[in-house]
Amino acid sequence: MTNPLLQPFDGTFGLPPFAAIDDTHFGPAFDEALSRARAAIAAIAEGPGADFAEVIEAMELAEGDLDRVAGVFYNLAGADSNEAREALQRDLAPIMSAFSSEVTNNKALFGKIDALWQGRAGLGLSAEQLRVLELYRRMFVRSGAALVGTAAERLTAVKARLAVLGTQFSQNLLAEERSWFMELAEADLEGLPGFVVDTARAAGAERGLGPVVTLNRSLIVPFLQFSPRRALRQKAYEAWVARGANGGATDNRSIAAETLALRAERAALLGYADFAAFKLEPEMAKTPAAVRDLLMRVWAPAVATANADATVLEAMLRADGIKGPLEAWDWRYYSEKRRRAEHDLDEAALKPYLSLDAMLGAMFDCAGRLFGLEFREIDGPFYHADVRGWEVSRKGAHLAVFLGDYFARGSKRSGAWCSAMRGQRKLGGEVRPIVVNVCNFARGAPCLLSYDDARTLFHEFGHALHQMLSDVTYGFISGTSVARDFVELPSQLYEHWLEVPAVLEAHARHHETGAPMPADMLARLLAAATYDQGFATVEFVASALVDLEFHSGAPSADPMQKQAEVLEALGMPRAIRMRHATPHFAHVFSGDGYSSGYYSYMWSEVMDADAFAAFEETGDPFDPGVAARLERFILSAGGSEEAEALYLKFRGRMPGVEALLKGRGLLDAA
């Protein structure tokens, strides 16, 4: 039978033929696609061609079949996993790593790339072509192309093992999140808002049970906010933070230790002092010292604010007759009570105005006003019944397909992310992207979001805009192919439009009556925008600093001990934990994307606060001139220039940390 993954996707918009794809197709498709890619790479390396088109442009197109197969498979492996996909993912990890090493270890191929780089002045290349050539050469060098003999062999083995460990870490975490739940008796529902009760009942119904709490963030966080039963809060919270550290086959602690040791060895083989120095070299920050400086400048005012907040919350705990200290499972409960008292803001009263459909409308409306985009919902079938799809166009021209996969389910890893089943490029004919946003919102009828959920929706769509508006020739630099500490700028910047009063006035409407959010509620919501930012900043910065210290200097044989030492040295408040403890720190250990790089969100936040100020300075959050500059120099440019150069073209200067502190309400504590 014909394998649909190995045929051109020639249906509407070039979408994968999801209905025709079976799990049994993936293994043979990878085998054939890898074979074709190897042949194409060998032809480039061994052939007579030596100019830019014959080497770099040929490489851009050499793995087209592999990109197509992988684009479908890895999206499904994260968003809709099953035993067959997990088994294949484990098998593929060392195979794909070995293929990557095989390419970058090809001395003839690297020789051609290096020769082009050395002679670049006489090649007559465009600025974009020079940038692509520079990045290809850098990728090869950082992958070990210049190593020979046992060093090259050892680096290949190290990278293969790291790929296996990253896959195992992710699958262990998914297994633990999928298996744990806490049953609730009817009496345990006391004090919980209706939306939490409904979500708990729906989660239990999926398991053939009564109401349950699961480790899905959209369920466990509101349970911790609203449940007056302290013992149940403690049980749920301790299960949540113990993910990956429960012993047995799914324990991630030894995986973390081995990963850190291998990363240090990888950096040493390449001539770097430690993995942090290696990883940060191509980023905007450049050095661990620069990252540490930013984080510590934010830490001091954040921890001062959090400690002051803890004093208030502990007094509330005492007023409830509890004698012990404020604990981590108490913070959200008493903070929610304090928010209701000080801001008269009740999340249970707020959520009916923030339905998923209403917030999607707001999200699309902002993109239309800023960039002239139009969204038309299209029919599937897609890869899961939950997925919705839209054609994205502008002035009648097709730009992208956008898929939204928003509900939590057992087959989906936790968190929220943006990916592309197909990226944008012009080389070889115009290719427009297929972009996917994945979230884990609690299912409802309708689905009602918290304000934090709505921010997540806008955040991931900011990443999607970076992909959809990409306008470059070479796929190697398209969309989000930028420095890690720059990639969060578009996503975090887009969150700001959720805070524009006119946006909420137009779209935050009651899901039953259609009535707009009352003006006084809207005012209180926006006034509380920086509420509890001491807590949020401390839990984030602690995670970022632990990540940085893990990869600075010699690796620790006991990451949990190292984590404890870093937190103690910081003076971590007793009732706040890291946002991501080591055994479930997927950003850092499910691959090396954010290793030594979790700080990136905050580095980008320095810019996003300043970037939105560019709109505010005009008096119009949708100013067409600023929006045009944002699209030209940030969203459409991909990695065509260094991140700092692109930001300078957009804004004219680089920002200071003050914009971030002001945005988080921490400036007075600095």
Catalytic positions, written as ranges: 460
Gap between the Cα atoms of 175 and 586, Å rounded: 13
3-state secondary structure of 445: coil
**What is the Cα–Cα distance from 203 to 289, expressed in whole angstroms?**
45
Residue (of 464, 483, 480) closest to 392 by Cα position: 464
List the structure tokens of 253: 């602690």
- In the sheet with 374-378, reading across from the earlier edge strand, the strands are 374-378, 388-394, 397-407, 434-441, 417-422
Whole-number Å distance between alpha carbons of 138 and 56: 13
Say if CB 555 and CB 533 are below 8 A apart.
Answer: no
* 386 class by beta-carbon count within 10 Å (0-12 exposed, 13-18 middle, 19+ buried): middle
- Residue 5 and residue 69 in contact, taking contact as beta carbons nearer than 8 Å: yes
Cis, bond preceding 8 (omega within 30 deg of 0): no
Pair 424, 433: CB distance under 8 Å: yes
Torsion of CA 25, 30, 33, 34, to 10 degrees: -160
Contact yes or no for 29/11 (Cβ under 8 A): no
Token pair recorded at residue 393: 């166009």
d(CA 190, CA 500): 36
Are 217 and 414 in contact by the 8 Å Cβ rule? The answer is yes
| Number of Cβ atoms within 10 Å of the Cβ of 222 | 25
Q: Which distant-in-sequence residues (6+ apart) come within 8 Å of 192 by Cβ?
A: 200, 222, 223, 226, 227
Structure tokens at 585: 């720190």
| Residue recorded with tokens 């190897």 | 38
- By the 8 A CB rule, do 101 and 159 touch? yes
> DSSP letter string over 348-386?
HHHGGG-BHHHHHHHHHHHHHHHH--EEEEE----SSTT
